[in-house]
Structure 1
Amino acid sequence: MDFEGEYTMRTASNQQSYEPDTVYPDAVLNIARDSASVFQLKRKWEKTPPMLNLTPDFQRGLVWKPKQKSELIESILMGIPLPLIYVKEDEKGVYVIVDGKQRLSTLFSFINNEFALEKLTILKDKNGSRFDKLTPLEQNKIEDCSLTLHVIKAPTSDRVTFDLFDRVNRGGTRLNNQEMRNALYQGNATELINRLAEKEAFVEATEHSIPANHMKDRYLVLRFVAFYLWQQHVTIDPDTDGPLDYRSNVEDFLGKTMRFLNRLEPENGLFKELDTRFTRAMELAIRLLPSGGFRLPSSPGKKRPINMAFFESFSYLLSRLNGEGEQLHCQIQEVYMQLICDAAYLESLTRSVDSGKQTEKRYEIINRLIHELNLC
């Protein structure tokens, strides 16, 4: 475990510690059945901007080998139906391919004459053939091949969506929720999160202990961004156009935050504010917190991992501070010691950390300290 709370970013089937009544508060699954030819999907992919996202930022393991690619083409020429393709439709109507990326990549690549068929055991006479060497009838058979798509549409929640993604991909690489979220909501949000996660101040404040693999570092940064905006009453719910509420469903909460950020113009001052506040919080943590500052107390000789909820909430406190000086620095250190001795605060960091009750408690304590000590 790289940080306490890491389980909250696991694949949907491995989630833990959800309150029973909030696992699926809005278990609406809106899947539309659609069909399209290979040629139609290729045309969507080649539009500017593309209407089919074939390269979401997933890490799905090895790319198909030449024999697998060739056998897919052989199957179509033989009239064998292909498996379902799952896509997520984003707000702009773009299809994000979730299950079927290798098949579509292979088909588009072959039509573009990028590889020749090889090691075929049934249609042996086609070995060595590229698309332009097939007969017109065979070319039409590939381009006109009808594919069945299951399109996940709104208002399917992120938690339900991630669970579905996990189920249809259990035979392959298991993606955690942050990897899927990063693929679904590319844009301003991912650019901001990537930039913040790469800052040396963040890496140093977290003691070089949060790896970039599986986007664990991005997950911590996104939580800071989402809860900062929520506490500042900035985030607008993209589904209702009203203030974003937190209702124990962290997957929808984080996803909606990313969608909100993606709707803003890149020049919006909010991005600079988040960058400045986050950087200041990390720099203050480096200067003023003891070694292992985002780790909870442990037994002598033992060292606990960084605590996710502690990082997220105390970084919010640090980000709100203005000014400098010895008095401020002493106050920060005093508040820090007060918090790690506060039983209610510690419980909110270790038990049902994403429940509405514990989240409200955590930030109620943080905000009370900010205002009592007049730190902002």
Structure 2
Amino acid sequence: MPAKPKATNSKFQITNEQKEAAEAEIREKQKAVDYRTTEYPVEVIVQKYMEGKENDTNELFIPDYQREMVWEEKDQSKFIESVFLGLPIPPIFVADINDEENEEDEARLEIIDGTQRIRTLTRFINNELILCELKKLSKLNNFRFEDLSLPRQRRFNRATIRIIQLTEKADEETRRDIFERINTGSIQLNEMEKRRGILPGSVTDLVEKLSKLLTFRDLCSFSQTAIDRREPQEYVLRFFAFLNNYQNFKSKPGINDFLNEYLQNVNQDKKTNLKEMKHEFEAMIDFVRKHFPNGFRSGKNLDQTTTRIKFESLSVGIALALREKNNLQYQGNNLLNTKEFQEYTKSDGSSSNVKVVKRIEYVRDQLLGK
């Protein structure tokens, strides 16, 4: 049987010059990712994280783009169990920070990946974590660190975890790129958590600031779990993205690409008016507070977080109406409970451009009496 001819693609023949250029690019980019690998005992890791934490001088620190503590007690307990069992622990990624604006190099280590593990170790050693729902080491359930025998405490403290440390040659762009590559596609980080790390900028900072307004959080009835998962930030981002671009929303490629593209563009746009954005968001929140007794919530479950669809429909519709009439007053019935609003904001309403436009403009027109 004759051998098959080798497949070729004459359209994309790579020249020697291209090969040399590619090799040069690889070598150049590798320079920024210089790293070394070491292992630290648990006790040392916790010490480096805790000492100076209160005044932000701790050697091992969590940057502002990282998420809050989101592991539940059972997840933290399972991690501690893994340490006891001597199971392989994923390495912690850190970066040696050389602050060029600071004359004194403090040689601090920024945690790129591993904040949940470090916080869990710290909570356990400080007796803040009570082990629960352990399967392999079930007799350790209800134990704190102080309940262990002294020899076991010492052995736990001596357990080592691998640290991959980027040298001071790695700039901020490189660190954030690694953060993205580690977490993109991960089920443990949601989209808003990733945006904080990979789409930094003045608008990202504004979204973060506005998301912490207590009136806004109360009107949406965010649970603590929702806050820990940075849902308030996503709601604020949705408000701005739809307010300025709702007519161009397309169900494909989808909402995450829509929000990412908006945030990236507005962060880079030098004409972005942060003061005006802040004013529009706060004016909308004030209008909801005055005219909607249940905030963004409707139906029977007023203690549950309002859905994204209802929030963006009401908030954007109000902001559009305020653009046309800044002294707007609403005297009608609560439109959140109208048959039309309920129909437009059903759970399947987010996938269609037509429905997005219809529900937002319905709110706007009802407020303006059109």
* TM-score (ref. length: structure 1): 0.49
Flag the structure with larger Rg.
Answer: 2
Q: Which has the higher contact order (CA 8 A, sep 6+)?
A: 1
